[in-house]
Amino acid sequence: KAGVTQTPRYLIKTRGQQVTLSCSPISGHRSVSWYQQTPGQGLQFLFEYFSETQRNKGNFPGRFSGRQFSNSRSEMNVSTLELGDSALYLCASSLGPGLAVYSSYEQYFGPGTRLTVT
Amino acid sequence: GENVEQHPSTLSVQEGDSAVIKCTYSDSASNYFPWYKQELGKGPQLIIDIRSNVGEKKDQRIAVTLNKTAKHFSLHITETQPEDSAVYFCAASPYSGGGADGLTFGKGTHLIIQP
């Protein structure tokens, strides 16, 4: 079974621009979560989508947004990029809520998109 | 919100010895505790997890223990091998059965296996 895929793997953007990152979850997984990883702050939760709806949100400004499509693929968007947005952006997929199985807890990560803002 | 503390930040052990990484959490509502291994250039890989109704779980050379009263959990790796060298992250989540709530991660432990 194919894992979580993220595109692109690397991006270089200029301050003030916007960027869109894409994530395809594991087949059969309906929930997608996004995380930001930086050396200073570590791994931080951005938001989670299930059934095309944002279910949970971390403590990030409104410049960070996302969406999910009917096939469970997800995109996240960062507008008005700042130097501090340089990070590895990770997507994780899981089965999703409403399932009384232990494995529904488990989140599987993709390789990430390395965003550099100059 | 939840706060997860992880120690040590760096751990160096001889090949074949055991390694122990410890985490504490603050939110008593947390009930799901996964551990991830991250190698250079890759995303975190789920290696083992435990829920708060279980005190210990083992998978070959890896085990996790949970003390819900003290709000701490630990990762134990026995008979360490060179391929165990990586950064390990603990995490906590108040998974309520309604879905995968956001994970709160520790800062990570860089495990170095000395040959």
A91 CA: distance to closest CA in chain B (Å): 9
| The pLDDT value given to residue B81 | 97
How many A-B residue pairs are in contact by the CB < 8 A criterion? 73
Which one-letter amino acid corresponds to residue B103?
Answer: L
pLDDT at A99 over 80: no
| The pLDDT value given to residue B101 | 65
Closest CA to A90 of A105, A72, A70, A107: A107
Which residue of chain B is at minimal alpha-carbon distance from A102? Answer: B51
Residue B107's pLDDT band, with cuts at 50, 70 and 90, is very high
Choose from B40, B89, B105, B107 for mutation: most chain A CBs within 10 A.
Answer: B105
Q: Is A27 helix (H, G, I), strand (E, B) or coil?
A: coil
pLDDT at A102 over 70: no
List for chain B the helix, strand, coil content (%; round to 5): 5, 55, 45
Question: Cβ–Cβ of B36/A110 closer than 8 Å?
Answer: no
B44-78 b/e (C-beta count within 10 Å ≥ 16 → b): beebbbbebeeeeeeeeebbbbbebeebbbbbbbe
Average pLDDT, rounded, for chain B: 92
Q: Cis bond leading into B94, ω under 30°?
A: no
- Name the residue with tokens 């074949």: B16
Model pLDDT for residues A40-89, shown as the tens digit of each residue: 999 999 999 998 999 888 999 999 999 999 999 999 999 999 999 999 99
Q: Find the DSSP H helices in B2-111.
A: none
Which one-letter amino acid corresponds to residue A43?
Answer: L
Q: Which two tokens stand for residue A107?
A: 């989140």
Which residues of B fall within a CB distance of 8 Å from A39?
none
